């Protein structure tokens, strides 16, 4: 049976829980809100299915990046400007999901619930799929999702599942070969997933200004696609724009343990299509640059190429060849895992002990340390190095 002794060896995909025929596995969250499997030994019969289905703990071969290798990618933007505006980069995902629901299929993706918890949901109309647009920079709750995907496939439906590379790998491993023909998967270049517990506390903290009606993790209307700021909309119509979560995210201080040992890099992707922000697009295709957003898409399988061709009429697509060194410079997480901040363990301990405000002041942008750093950067830019 599955047992997690080293947290970096479990991505929390929930495949083991879904696979257990005796419902002996429960996903329990740690201090930061990340789920891990726990086995009820009274129910477990020792069949070993949970261990066999775990893709994350299998041997993975990741070729090291070489400066000369070329990678075939596409720069893509949805032709519908309103879709681009509400998507995180170029809105390619909506074109893919529209195609699946047009054929009577179902789509699974991450939404922000009314309680501001990020979770995976099922959609069967284009209107429902709109809730998947936009990146939610926190690990999504997968409760019951893999089994629902399997039920849809068993009922003969086409299914499109989008998620982190490890969620896709877990699902692919859980779904039997005979059902996989109708399963389409999309992952993204993944920096890592931040803590759901810190997110929950942050939303609670922002509630001191009034009743929050909606949130956006990376609000394009605040300076464009390349700017990353989170926004909170209140019942009274006011909007507050902040950077606290972004600062903690990119400090790599509240990511899941497994994100520092992620095996799903280029050459070991399990999805049919990989989508991402096309950082550096101005260097390789200036006419697709701008502040609206451009997606990068990598087709990892023939099935992915075919789905992209079907969605092509609603997309502006430019095929390109870029070097791995370009990707390493502009979007390194396609080739390697994020390196954790030295205080990752301390952050977790102090968050547990003293709570959100303490860590936001100490490592986020709420305290004097961040203000002092900002002043230093300002002075350096203004007067140069002295
Ligand atoms: C945690 C995280 C880390 C990322 N790291 C990078 C990175 O390092 N480099 C990079 O280029 N891009 C990264 N991305 C992807 C990027 O932000 C955009 O999602 C991508 O460019 C697609 O944009 P789009 O306009 O085509 O799709 P959109 O229409 O915006 O669709 C986004 C898709 O992502 C899925 N999704 C959103 N949030 C989650 C979540 N929490 N868990 C699982 N699935 C989710 C949705 O289901 C949807 O299908 C990351 C996304 C997330 C959620
Ligand atoms: S990685 Fe997924 S399948 Fe493996 S132990 Fe963790 S939750 Fe279970
Ligand atoms: S060994 Fe079998 S019964 Fe026990 S937890 Fe794993 S899948 Fe369930
Ligand atoms: S970095 Fe890897 S382990 Fe972490 S969420 Fe992304 S795919 Fe999963």
Q: Is residue 386 part of a domain?
A: no
pLDDT at 373 > cutoff 70: yes
- pLDDT value of position 243: 94
Same domain, 173 and 44: no
Q: Which residue has the higher pLDDT, 385 or 207?
A: 207
Q: What is residue 66's predicted lDDT score, i.e. its pLDDT?
A: 58
pLDDT of residue 141: 98
**Whether the predicted pLDDT of 62 surpasses 70:** no
**pTM of this prediction?**
0.95
Could you tell me if 279 and 154 lie in one domain?
Answer: yes
* pLDDT class of 68 with cuts at 50, 70, 90: low
Residue 58 located in a structural domain? no
Say what the pLDDT of residue 377 is: 82
281 confidence band (pLDDT: 50, 70, 90)? very high
Is 90 exceeded by the pLDDT of residue 212?
yes
HSE-CB of 322 using CA atoms within 13 angstroms: 26
Q: Is residue 163 within 6 Å of ligand 4 at its C-beta?
A: no
166 and 222, same structural domain? no
Q: Is the pLDDT higher at 67 or at 2?
A: 2
The CA distance from 22 to 266, in Å, is 36
Say if residue 65's pLDDT is above 60.
no
CA 209 to chain centre: 29
Q: What is the pLDDT of residue 385?
A: 58
State mean pLDDT over 197-209.
97
Q: In angstroms, rounded to a whole number, what is the distance separating the alpha carbons of residues 197 and 139?
A: 10
Distance CA 151, CA 146 (A): 9
Ligand 1 and 35: CB distance under 6 A = no
Ligand 3: which residue has its CA nearest to atom 7?
20
Which of 11, 193, 261 for mutating ligand 2's site (highest number of atoms within 8 Å of CB)?
11
The answer to whether residue 28 sits within a structural domain is yes
Q: What is the CATH number of the domain that holds 37?
A: 3.30.70.20
The answer on 215 and 141 residing in a single domain is no
Assess if residue 385 is contained within a domain: no
Per-residue confidence (pLDDT) for residue 67, from 0 to 100:
54
| Gap from CA of 169 to ligand 3 centroid (Å) | 20
Distance 25 CA to ligand 3 centre (A): 7
Q: Is residue 14 domain-shared with residue 147, that is, in the same domain?
A: no
Asked if 181 and 123 sit in the same domain, the reply is yes
pLDDT at 197: 98
Q: Which ligand is nearest to the CA of 55?
A: 2
**8-state DSSP, 272:** S
Domain of residue 371, residue span = 196-254+342-379
- State whether 155 and 143 are in the same domain: yes
Q: How far is the CA of 15 from the centre of ligand 2 (A)?
A: 6
Q: Whose CA is nearest to atom 1 of ligand 2?
A: 10
Identify the residues whose C-beta falls under 6 Å from ligand 3: 1-2, 19-20, 22, 24-25, 39, 44-50
- pLDDT score recorded for residue 368: 81
In tens, the pLDDT along 331-353 reads: 999 999 999 999 999 999 999 99
Distance 385 CA to ligand 4 centre (A): 38
pLDDT value at residue 200? 97
Which ligand has its closest atom nearest to the C-alpha of 262? Answer: 4
| Angle, in degrees to the nearest 10, between helices 145-154 and 165-174 | 50
Specify the residue with its C-alpha closest to ligand 4, atom 8.
166
Provide mean pLDDT across the span 39-48: 97
CB of residue 276 inside a 6 A radius of ligand 1: yes
Of 64-73, 291-300, 367-376, the range with the highest mean pLDDT is 291-300
CA atoms within 13 A on the CB side of 114: 0
Q: 4 pLDDT exceeds 90?
A: yes
Q: Does ligand 1 have an atom closer than 6 angstroms to the CB of 333?
A: yes
Whether the per-residue pLDDT at 308 is higher than 90: the answer is yes
Determine if ligand 4 sits within 6 Å of the CB of residue 20.
no
Q: How far is CA 139 from CA 167, 258, 330, in A?
A: 10, 12, 23
Same domain, 154 and 261: yes
Which of 56, 141, 252, 258 is the pocket-test mutation for ligand 4 (most atoms within 8 Å of CB)? 258
21 shares its domain with 123: no
**DSSP letters along 332-371, please?**
GGGTSPPPPPTTHHHHHHHHHHH-HHHHHHHTSSSSHHHH
**Total structural domains within the chain:** 3
**Which whole number is the average pLDDT over 369-374?**
80
182 and 318 co-located in one domain: yes
Nearest Cα residue to atom 31 of ligand 1 = 133
Q: Could you tell me if residue 1 is inside a domain?
A: no
Q: What is the pLDDT of residue 63?
A: 64
> What does the angle CA 306 – CA 141 – CA 228 come to, to the nearest 5 degrees?
75
Q: Whose CA is nearest to atom 2 of ligand 4?
A: 262
Both 201 and 189 in one domain: the answer is no
Q: Where do the DSSP E strands lie in the chain? A: 25-29, 35-39, 70-78, 106-112, 118-123, 159-162, 183-188, 212-216, 230-234, 239-242, 273-277, 295-299, 315-323
Per residue in 123-174, pLDDT (tens digit) is: 999 999 999 999 999 999 999 999 999 999 999 999 999 999 999 999 999 9
Asked if residues 254 and 195 have their Cβ atoms less than 8 Å apart, the reply is yes
If asked whether residues 155 and 84 sit together in one domain, one would say: yes
Q: Which ligand is nearest to the CA of 1?
A: 3
User: What percentage of the chain has pLDDT greater than the value 70?
Assistant: 98
Instruction: Determine if ligand 1 sits within 6 Å of the CB of residue 220.
Output: no
């Amino acid at each position: 049976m599955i047992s997690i002794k080293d947290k970096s060896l479990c991505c929390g995909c929930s495949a083991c829980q879904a696979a257990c025929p005796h419902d002996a596995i429960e996903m329990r969250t740690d201090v930061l809100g990340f789920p891990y499997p726990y086995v009820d030994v009274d129910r477990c019969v020792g069949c070993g299915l949970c261990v066999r289905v775990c893709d994350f703990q299998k041997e993975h071969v990741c070729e090291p990046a070489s400066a000369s290798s070329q990678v075939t990618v596409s720069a893509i933007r949805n032709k519908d400007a309103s879709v681009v505006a509400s998507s995180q980069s170029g809105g390619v995902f909506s074109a893919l999901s529209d195609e699946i629901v047009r054929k009577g299929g179902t789509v699974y993706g991450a939404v922000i619930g009314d309680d501001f918890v990020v979770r995976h949901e099922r959609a069967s109309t284009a209107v429902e799929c709109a809730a998947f647009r936009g990146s939610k920079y926190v690990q999504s709750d997968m409760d019951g999702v893999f089994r629902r995907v399997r039920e849809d496939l068993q009922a003969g439906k086409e299914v499109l599942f989008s998620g982190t590379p490890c969620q896709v790998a877990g699902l692919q491993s859980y779904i039997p070969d005979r059902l996989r023909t109708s399963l389409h998967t999309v992952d993204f270049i993944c920096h890592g997933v931040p803590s759901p517990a810190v997110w929950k506390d942050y939303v609670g903290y922002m509630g001191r200004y009034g009743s929050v009606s909606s949130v956006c993790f990376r609000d394009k209307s605040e300076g464009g696609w390349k700017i990353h700021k989170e926004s909170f909309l209140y019942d009274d119509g006011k909007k507050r724009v902040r950077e606290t979560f972004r600062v903690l995210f990119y400090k790599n201080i509240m990511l899941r343990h497994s994100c520092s040992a992620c095996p799903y890099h280029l050459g070991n992707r399990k999805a049919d299509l990989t989508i991402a922000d096309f950082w550096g697009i101005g260097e390789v295709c200036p006419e697709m640059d701008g502040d609206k957003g451009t997606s990068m898409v990598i087709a990892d399988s023939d099935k992915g190429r075919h789905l992209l061709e079907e969605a092509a009429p609603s997309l502006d697509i430019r095929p390109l060849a870029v070097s791995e060194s370009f990707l390493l410079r502009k979007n390194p997480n396609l080739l390697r895992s994020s390196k954790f901040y030295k205080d990752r363990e301390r952050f977790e301990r102090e968050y547990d002990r003293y709570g959100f405000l303490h860590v936001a002041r100490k490592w986020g942008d709420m305290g004097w340390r961040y203000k002092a750093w900002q002043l230093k950067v300002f002075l350096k830019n203004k007067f140069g190095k002295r």
